[in-house]
Amino acid sequence: MRTERFHRTGFTRIELVVVAGVAVLALGFVLPRVQAARADAARTQCLNNLRTIGKGCLEYEKAKGGFPPRRSGFNDGAPYAGWGAHILPYIDEPELAKKYNFKLDCFDPGNKAVVETTVKTFVCPASPPNRFTPMESQATAKSDNPDKDTAFSVKGGVNDYITSNGTTTPRSGYGLNANMGEVAAGVGNSRQSMNDNVPMPLSKITDGLNCTILVVEQAGRPDVWRGGKKTDTGAQFGMAANARGMWAGWGSIAFGPTAADGGPAKGDASDVSVNGNNVSGLYGFHEGGCHILLCDGSVRFVGKKLDPLTLIYLIIRDDGHMIAPNDY
C-alpha cells in the first residue's frame, strides 16, 4: 500500500483572521505616527514660509527704505496690489516678478496669468488644498488700462498670511491695568508695521522689531472658518476688488482677539487670540496654534498662552510696550 502526502498551499480561515487582526493592529500603531509626521512637516514648512516672507520684507526694506505697502491703491486711485506682489523679487520668484505689472491692477487681464499662479511660499501646507480667491472689478483711475468700463475677473493664487491695518479690539475689558482708550478699536490703521501705498520706515517701529507683528497666519480663505469648522457663509468679500486672501491683492485686514466661538471679542477672559476665526483672528490649521512673523524676521508658534491684551500690544508698533518672548 502506497501512502501519499498532500501539502496545503493556502491559509486556513483562522489564520486569515489572525493575519488581518495583526495588520489592523499594526496600522493602528503606524497611522497616527504617519499623521503626526505629516503634521510636523506641514508646521515646519509653514514656519519656513514665514521666514522666507520675513527675509523678503527685510530685503525689500534695504532696497526701498521701508517694509512693502500692505495695500497699494488704497484711496488714491492707483492700481491695486499688495505686499505679496512687492516682495516677489526677494523670495526667489524672479520670473513672476518680471511679469507682474504694477501699472495695472492685480485683477487686470495683463496680470491674470501671473496672479493665478500658486506661489508655495504663500500657502500653508496644513490648510485646505485647491483654493483660489475670486476677484472682479473695473480698472482703477490710474491704471494704464484705458478700458475703465469692463469688469475684469481673476481666480487669484491664495495667501494664507496677512498683516494688520487696525485692530478689532473691544473698548473695555482685559484687566484693570489695560489702557483700552489707547489700544481699543479706536486705534486707526496707521500704527501697524506696514503702511498703505508707501513703504514703512523701520524707524517708526519704536516698540522694537522683535516686539511688533509683521505678518500672521490667517489661513483658509476665501472660505470662512470658525473653531476648526468651515461655515456655510460663503467666500469672504465675495468677488470684490478688496477681497483678502490673494497673494497679489491687498494683504492686510483689521485683526485681534475673538470670542471662543469665533464671534466678536467680548473683552473678557473667555476671548481667545488664536484659532477663533479666520475673518479677524489669527488662524492656522496646526494642532494647538499658529505662527506669527515679527519685524526682525523671527517666527513664533503661538497658542493659548498668547492672551488678547498681549496680542494687541504686538500689533501696534508704537504703544511703548516691550513684550518679552516668554510673555506669550
What are 67-92's pLDDT values in tens digits?
Answer: 999 999 999 999 999 999 999 999 99
- Whether 266 maps to a domain, the answer reads yes
| Residue ranges making up the domain that contains 53 | 41-327
The three grid cell numbers given for residue 58, joined into one nine-digit string: 527685510
- Whether 287 maps to a domain, the answer reads yes
Amino acid at 149: D
Kindly give the parts of the chain with pLDDT less than 50.
1, 6, 176, 180, 185-186
Q: Is 183 helix (H, G, I), strand (E, B) or coil?
A: helix
**Tens-digit pLDDT profile for residues 184-200:** 544 678 899 999 999 99
Helix (H), strand (E) at residue 215:
strand 213-217
- Whether 162 maps to a domain, the answer reads yes
- Whether 81 maps to a domain, the answer reads yes
For residue 231, the Cα-to-chain-centroid distance in whole angstroms is 18
- Whether 20 maps to a domain, the answer reads no
- Whether 1 maps to a domain, the answer reads no
pLDDT score for 5: 53
Q: Is 302 helix (H, G, I), strand (E, B) or coil?
A: strand
- Whether 24 maps to a domain, the answer reads no
Integer Cα distance of 248 and 250 in angstroms? 7
Is residue 39 within 8 Å of 286, Cβ to Cβ?
yes
Integer Cα distance of 21 and 243 in angstroms? 52
Integer Cα distance of 89 and 119 in angstroms? 13
pLDDT score for 280: 92
Residue from 252, 270, 250, 248 nearest 260 by CA: 270
pLDDT score for 259: 93
Number of domains in the chain: 1
Give the CA angle between residues 87, 89, 90 to the nearest 5°: 65
Is residue 321 within 8 Å of 211, Cβ to Cβ?
yes
pLDDT score for 225: 95
- Whether 15 maps to a domain, the answer reads no
The three grid cell numbers given for residue 64, joined into one nine-digit string: 526701498
